Amino acid sequence: MDVATFLNRFESLPKKIQRQIIDLAENLIRQSSKAEKKQNGFSFDWENSLKNNRTAVDLQHEANEWR
């Protein structure tokens, strides 16, 4: 089915069904977006968020104190 045929058939549907189709399409787009993010691998968005310029060694010592 081409886009023009789909749009013609879509416009002839009741508004309630049109809304359901739109909701379904939006949900599929969100799922696709989440899947793409997972495929891109690990994110370093946390980088440079440590406060007080603590080093990895400082964090190791602090973690040992928590145990």
Q: Tell me the per-residue pLDDT of 30-57, one tens digit each, with 9 for 90 and over.
A: 888 776 666 666 666 666 666 667 788 8
Span 18-25, average pLDDT = 94
Which one-letter DSSP state was computed for residue 52?
G
Q: Which structural domain range is residue 15 located in?
A: 3-66
Write down the pLDDT at residue 55: 80
State the burial class of residue 16 (Cβ atoms within 10 Å of its Cβ: 0-12, 13-18, 19+).
exposed
Number of other residues whose CB lies within 10 A of the CB of residue 20? 12
The stretch 1-18 carries a mean pLDDT of 94
**Pair 48, 59: CB distance under 8 Å:** no
Q: What is the model's pLDDT at position 33?
A: 79
Asked if 23 contacts 15 with a C-beta cutoff of 8 angstroms, the reply is no
- What is the domain count for the chain? 1
Mean pLDDT lowest among 20-24, 36-40, 63-67: 36-40
